[in-house]
Structure 1
Amino acid sequence: MRGEWRRFAAFLKRPTLPERAPLPQAAGLRAVVWLVLLDLLVMAALVGVAGAVMAAGVSLPETALAGMEIGTGIILAVVVIAPLTEEIAFRGWLSGRPGHIFGLLAGALAAMMAGLAAMAFFGAALATAGLVALAAGTLVALAIVYRLRHRNTIGWFRRLFPALFWLSTLGFSLVHLTNFPADQLATALPLVLPQFVTGTILGYTRVHYGLWASVLLHMLHNGAIIALVLAASSAA
């Protein structure tokens, strides 16, 4: 455990991109367990800081989950759909391999074009249009990933990796500002620090153990948050 944490700390000091993440294996699963534990310890510390700030009389904006009835649909979206889509969007391309980069770009473009066409054809049936767009983009992305599966990391990407890693982490944290009211974004900015910290752990996990590992870690992180919210709601 401590060895994994030391490797993560060294990675943050100097982010470097390995040649290629290994296929799913027991070592990767063990790493996810140790990194989830680290993530939860950091989150507990940040929650303690937030509690102290609130105890001092400072009012903090409420998140989108506050006051929301958490049912099966919300749990599925938070624990499964959000981790999967966010990991693909923010870290799927961090390998620097052409298939992952161009697959994501082409898949997004295909999804956008298919979505526009489907909306025009189906009219108000936005759910159907969204599914058509998602299916089209996924198929295009998978085809490109498979076609370029043997290509290694692009040279310029490896040189720029430290900056790309931090930009990915920053973007991941800032997108969570959408969880707060639009008129309180300035106040909410410090509240996405947990997402920034978790983003560094997820980025390290993705490049060293593979996308499957970062998705799993992300699911466990979100699952822990949902469990805490449910526990707090039942206690109240």
Structure 2
Amino acid sequence: MRFRDELRDFFRFLRRPGFTPRLPGRKAGDGWVEDWFPALSVGRLLKWALFLWLVNLIFLGPIAVAAAGVGGATHRLSLDHLPWLQALLWAPIVEELVFRYGLRRLGQAWWLVPAAVAAMFMGPKWPGVLMLAGIVAVCWLPYLAAPPGTCRPLPWRYRQAYRGVFPWVFHLGSMLFAAVHLYNFNLHQTPPWLLPLLVLPQWLTGLVLGWLRVRRGIGASMLLHALFNGGPLLVVWLVIQAAPDLVK
């Protein structure tokens, strides 16, 4: 499947979010393995990351910068201590578990989302890291301890009801994902009506990550999340190396 075909599928998905069809390329076998370890090339992930970087750089980023200037908001990013570990490992795992894992695993969402939210607010310190590791272990254990196909799905009536509200769940989750990133700013006296503009890039990113989670799997959305975060940090690091006076 070509990238432009996936791009068309993404925009169709935004109009009518749904569980099917999965994108071609999934191997036959245990769906849990494909969910966490999708058959997806690094090149394809790079194309999606490039798409997000370009749209955010050319369109949504300038809007966010203008809104920050009008409202007086400033970013919390410290050029002295770039958050590599948080951006490349912590955020992709914990935020995908909070906002997107339950999109296709509703039977686990009732306990997983509150636990992952608690880990997210603990932050990447030992209590939060241990809790996050425990959440992933509990997600994997039923599938590792039982033969493929033996884990019981939700009753059919619940799945049908969830299908009806899924578009609302998907779009609300994307907006909440963007809203959480307001924490990246010192808001000062920013008017409330400007707040959504500050996180337009995160909103688009959440839409793409949600689509990828549904179509490819949670592993794919985690990988793209890490790649998306890593690109801007790498640019900032290179600029600092070329002009170290910027951090003084």
Which range, TM-score by smaller chain? 0.7 to 0.9
SS in 2 for 1:15: coil
Matched, 1:16 2:24: no
| Structure 2 CA distance for partners of 1:145 and 1:225, relative to 1, 3 Å | farther
- What residue is the counterpart of 1:201 in the other structure? 208
Alignment length (residue pairs): 217
Matched, 1:70 2:70: no
- What residue is the counterpart of 2:184 in the other structure? 179
Q: Shift of residue 190 of structure 1?
A: 0.9
| Structure 2 CA distance for partners of 1:133 and 1:10, relative to 1, 3 Å | closer
Deviations 1:139-169, CA, capped at 9 Å, x for gaps: 4444466678452682222111100000110
- What residue is the counterpart of 1:216 in the other structure? 223
Stretches of structure 2 that go unaligned for 5 or more consecutive residues are 27-33
Question: Is the CA contact (8 Å cut-off) linking 1:202 and 1:217 kept in structure 2?
Answer: yes
Stretches of structure 1 that go unaligned for 5 or more consecutive residues are 116-126
Q: Shift of residue 68 of structure 1?
A: 3.4
Q: What CA distance in whole angstroms lies between the structure 2 residues aligned with 1:190 and 1:109?
A: 24
When normalised by structure 1's length, the TM-score is 0.75
Matched, 1:158 2:169: no
Q: How does 1:89-128 map to 2 (within 5 A)?
A: 89-98=98-107, 100-102=108-110, 104-105=112-113, 107-108=115-116
- What residue is the counterpart of 1:118 in the other structure? none
When normalised by structure 2's length, the TM-score is 0.72
Q: What CA distance in whole angstroms lies between the structure 2 residues aligned with 1:77 and 1:52?
A: 23
Q: Which amino acid aligns with 1:41?
A: L
Q: Which amino acid aligns with 1:32?
A: L
User: Higher helix fraction: Structure 1 or Structure 2?
Assistant: 1
SS in 2 for 1:183: coil
Q: Shift of residue 75 of structure 1?
A: 0.6
Q: Shift of residue 29 of structure 1?
A: 5.0
Over the aligned positions, Cα root-mean-square deviation in angstroms equals 3.5
Q: What CA distance in whole angstroms lies between the structure 2 residues aligned with 1:45 and 1:207?
A: 27
